[in-house]
Structure 1
Amino acid sequence: MAEYKTEEQKKKFYRTGDWNKLRQQALDRDNRECQECKREGRVHVDSKKMEGERKSVELNVHHKYEIEHYPQLALVLDNLETLCLNCHNKIHGRVFDEQKRKRWDDEMW
């Protein structure tokens, strides 16, 4: 069984045809909508490709059980879910701008 402990091993996995095929299946199954937003009553769908422009990345396919710890679930469709970038970052503890933003009633000085 393959291991996905290093960044290089993970990058190699995410470039495989097997992953890309399964990723598309997950996106199609989830209607290309963020499943976390959907659970919270919001809608976040994939961007559309505009002629002459690069398509913006709106969605990721997330492993519920990370491949680093559960390599046997790396290519299991039931272990995948479509998430928007914001929800995916929150799940992984990568919150950037939100916590630094001040509220309107915060003191200015």
Structure 2
Amino acid sequence: MTEYKSEEQKRNFYKSGAWNKLRQQALDRDNRECQQCKREGKVHVDSIKVEGERKSVELNVHHKYEIEHYPQLALVLDNLETLCLQCHNKMHDRVFGEQKKKKWDDERW
């Protein structure tokens, strides 16, 4: 079984034809809508390609169980869901432009 521990291994996986094909299947299955926004009663759909311009990235396909820890699920469609960039970053605890909440609220002595 392939491992996805190093950055190079992950990069090669995300550049593979097998991933690209499955990623498109997940986007189509999810109607190119962020599934987390949908659960919250909001709508966030993919951007539309404008001729002559670079398409803006609005959506990511997220592994519910990360490939680093569950390599056997890397190419399983049921392990994927479409998320907008904001929801995907929240899912991975990447917060930009705002202070992260402190883990402890104790005073320092």
Calculate the TM-score normalised by the size of structure 2. 0.90
Query: Which contiguous aligned blocks of 4+ residues in structure 1 show a shift greater than 3 angstroms?
Result: none
CA distance in 1, matches of 2:62, 2:92: 10
For residue 99 of structure 1, report the CA deviation from its aligned partner.
Answer: 3.6
Equivalent position SS for 1:24: helix
Look up the match of 1:70: 70
Equivalent position SS for 2:44: coil
Look up the match of 1:83: 83
Per-residue CA shift, 1:63-91, capped at 9, x if unaligned? 00000000000000000000000000000
CA distance in 1, matches of 2:67, 2:51: 35
Where structure 1 has 5 or more consecutive residues not aligned to the other structure, the ranges are 101-109
Calculate the TM-score normalised by the size of structure 1. 0.90
Where structure 2 has 5 or more consecutive residues not aligned to the other structure, the ranges are 101-109
CA distance in 1, matches of 2:75, 2:99: 34
CA distance in 1, matches of 2:98, 2:30: 27
Give RMSD over aligned pairs: 1.0
Look up the match of 2:40: 40
Amino acid at match of 1:72: Q
Equivalent position SS for 1:86: helix
Look up the match of 2:96: 96
